Amino acid sequence: MRIAVDPTAAQPAELLDHDVFTSFDVTVPAGTSVSDLSAVLGSVGELDAEGEDVAAAHVRVSVSWLRETAHAEGADAGWDEQFEGMLAFAEQQGWIARNGEDVTVRAHVVVE
């Protein structure tokens, strides 16, 4: 699963490969700054970065956003079960955060 974020695009965040559950990252174009990325995340999630190196950053992605977006893009009936499996693995790794009903999963940022 991949989220492509391009601060210069009309739709800055797009869920790609929603049916790939063996990887999870946020891709940004070369030259994207930490502040540019943070400014366009919106309902996708929030940036977890120390300093100004976007390649060393992570994004706490909203599980609700992932689920809603995947279903809007045609995720089939078995998608939720596979997604829950991905989240269970992420939980074991310590990549899940909970704040009340808000649940996020950590994704690393890849600069393309």
What pLDDT shows up at residue 101? 82
Q: What is the mean pLDDT of residues 108-112?
A: 94
What pLDDT shows up at residue 39? 92
Beta-bridge partner residues of 45: 61
Position 1 confidence tier, pLDDT thresholds 50, 70, 90: very high
Separation of alpha carbons 97 and 101, rounded Å: 10
Q: What is the pLDDT of residues 28-50, one digit of tens each?
A: 999 999 999 999 998 999 999 88
Q: Is the pLDDT of residue 10 over 90?
A: no
Position 4 confidence tier, pLDDT thresholds 50, 70, 90: very high
Q: Which domain holds residue 14?
A: 2-111
Q: What is the pLDDT of residues 60-104, one digit of tens each?
A: 999 999 999 999 999 988 999 999 999 999 999 999 999 888 899
Give the chain's domain count. 1
Q: What is the dihedral of CA 102, 103, 109, 112, to 10 degrees?
A: -80
